[in-house]
Amino acid sequence: MNMPERPPPLRPRPVRAASPLAREVLLYCFLLVPLASELWMLPNGTPGDNPVKQVEADLGLWAFRFLLMTLAITPLRRYGRINLVRWRRVLGLLAFTYAFFHVFVFIVIDKKLAMNVVLHAVLTKYFLPFGIMAFFILAALAATSSRASMRVLGRKWRVLHRGIYIAACLAAVHYLLFFDSIRTEPVLYAALTLALLAARLGGKHRQA
């Protein structure tokens, strides 16, 4: 009597790795946690005498941090053999996102959409124009960060995105001038900005 053949064992389907875009989205969402925390503090209270000003300053500092992380990608690959190029666009978009909410809190929550008050602040507080210029550069870079923009702009895309160097310098000056006296933290951030720019530009000079 013939025994019935056993069906072949079921093989587990291979788990597909997440696509590069999915990984970028996941990292972007994860790094929005500080933003959500800061915005949650606005209606629920936050330490300090002026919670709005504190959240506004914190968001600006986070934007600067992500901007510096974006600048650090190339030096890390060149000198440390650490390749994080795939995350550069995410970090750049995070810098713009935090900068956007930094400006949003300033105009909408702090100044109550009183544009005459905003304009007066821009004209009388000398650190604000530097921040505004940095924000518009980041907005232009974020708007053209897609691969479709790279194809449309061609060589102009690379030239445009070198504006990140200018944005970083403007952000450093904005942070330095925010205080009435010399503070250690903004000086350190400015020094780090110069070091990253020197590492990037110095490497290009040696390659030439």
pLDDT digits (tens, 9 = 90+) for 6-29: 656 656 565 565 687 889 999 999
State the pLDDT at residue 185: 96
In the block, tokens 């925010």 appear at: 178
DSSP label of 2: P
Tell me the pLDDT band of 131, cut-offs 50, 70 and 90. Answer: very high
Question: How much is the pTM?
Answer: 0.86
Number of domains in the chain: 1
Residue 48 corresponds to which tokens in the numbers above? 């300090």
Q: Is residue 4 in a domain? A: no
Q: Is residue 9 in a domain? A: no
Domain hosting residue 40, numbered range: 20-202
Instruction: Find, among 14, 164, 125, 194, the residue nearest to 202 by Cα.
Output: 194
How many Å apart are CA 129 and CA 121, to the nearest integer?
10
Q: Is residue 8 in a domain? A: no
Q: Is residue 3 in a domain? A: no
pLDDT digits (tens, 9 = 90+) for 76-110: 998 888 899 999 999 999 999 999 999 999 999 99
State the pLDDT at residue 143: 95
Write phi, then psi, for 60 (nearest 5 degrees): -65, -40
Share of the chain above pLDDT 90, in %: 66
